[in-house]
Amino acid sequence: MNRNLFRDKLVFSKGIKIFSTLLLFHLVSCKNVESTNTETNAVQQVLNFYGGECLKSEGVNSENGNNKTFFELEMRKSVLLDSEQTNKKLHSGNIAYLFYSNLEKEKSNYDEIKVKIVLDGGHIEEYSYQSKELDEIEKHKVTIDQVNTAISEKKYDELISFFDKTITINASDIRKLFENLEQQSGKMARIQFQGFEFKQTNNFGDVILMNEAVVFGETALSMNVILKRDNNKLIAIEFN
């Protein structure tokens, strides 16, 4: 059985970023401050998911006279993050999203959410997400929740409507995929959002890979739902 639908149509291209250092003046001011109740709750949502410890700080990036405020979350001693080191980037997106989506009216306080992951052994990975990117994820997350509902309720004809018009697929193909998964691993219990990553593709342009854990019986499988950024339409559902 091929669990990966449309995978042959999706080719990720490597993005190359060129940074100019000419006439660049960059300062970072960072301080530990007392958080608001909303920020404390947002951090707690992250800890509820990942466990471990979260050190928080906020500050200002000043670049060529432009100031950008940021909030940084430094994750330590998380068993989940230590055990899934190959998915650090996806998890960093989830950490930023969990925090930002729970800021409510205080979202406008920050231009950027930074995530630092300190793994067992001391290795450190750092990531940064612009607020406008996280606003975009919130918009796409509405679609993902609708897709999850259609999958959970086995409404495969409805699921087809979320796909981009360039994708040729029918409800019976998707039905067979999930029926086979349930036969092998047990009845589907729930779907949980795990993170996201921005990608560039040769065939579909800019896309967002939304990663989710789908629990079948006592087995959790990793599912990627891939959306086009320009029209919020699905181009792929795949299991790793």
Do 216 and 189 contact (CB within 8 A), yes or no?
yes
User: In which band, very low, low, confident or very high, does the pLDDT at 32 lie, cut at 50, 70 and 90?
Assistant: low
The boundaries of every CATH 3.30.300 domain in the chain are 26-131
Q: Which whole number is the average pLDDT over 201-227?
A: 94
The boundaries of every CATH 3.10.450.590 domain in the chain are 7-14+136-239
Q: Which whole number is the average pLDDT over 212-238?
A: 94
The structure tokens 């509820």 sit at 48
Coil, helix or strand at residue 14:
coil
What is the CATH architecture of 26-131?
2-Layer Sandwich (3.30)
Strands 188-201 and 124-130: unpaired
User: In which band, very low, low, confident or very high, does the pLDDT at 71 lie, cut at 50, 70 and 90?
Assistant: very high
Burial zone of 214 (CB within 10 Å; 0-12 exposed, 13-18 middle, 19+ buried): buried
What CA–CA distance (Å, rounded) separates 193 from 204?
Answer: 23
Q: Which whole number is the average pLDDT over 26-39?
A: 64
pLDDT at residue 67 tops 60: yes
Q: Which fold has domain 7-14+136-239?
A: Nuclear Transport Factor 2; Chain: A, (3.10.450)
pLDDT at residue 24 tops 60: no
pLDDT at residue 20 tops 50: no
Q: What is the pLDDT of residue 178?
A: 94
Q: Where are the beta strands (DSSP E) in the chain?
A: 26-31, 53-63, 66-76, 112-118, 124-130, 188-201, 205-216, 219-228, 234-239
What CA–CA distance (Å, rounded) separates 127 from 114?
Answer: 6
Tokens of 88: 């650090």
The structure tokens 């940021």 sit at 70
Q: What is the pLDDT of residue 14?
A: 34
User: In which band, very low, low, confident or very high, does the pLDDT at 6 lie, cut at 50, 70 and 90?
Assistant: very low
Q: Which whole number is the average pLDDT over 40-64?
A: 92
| pLDDT, mean over the chain | 86
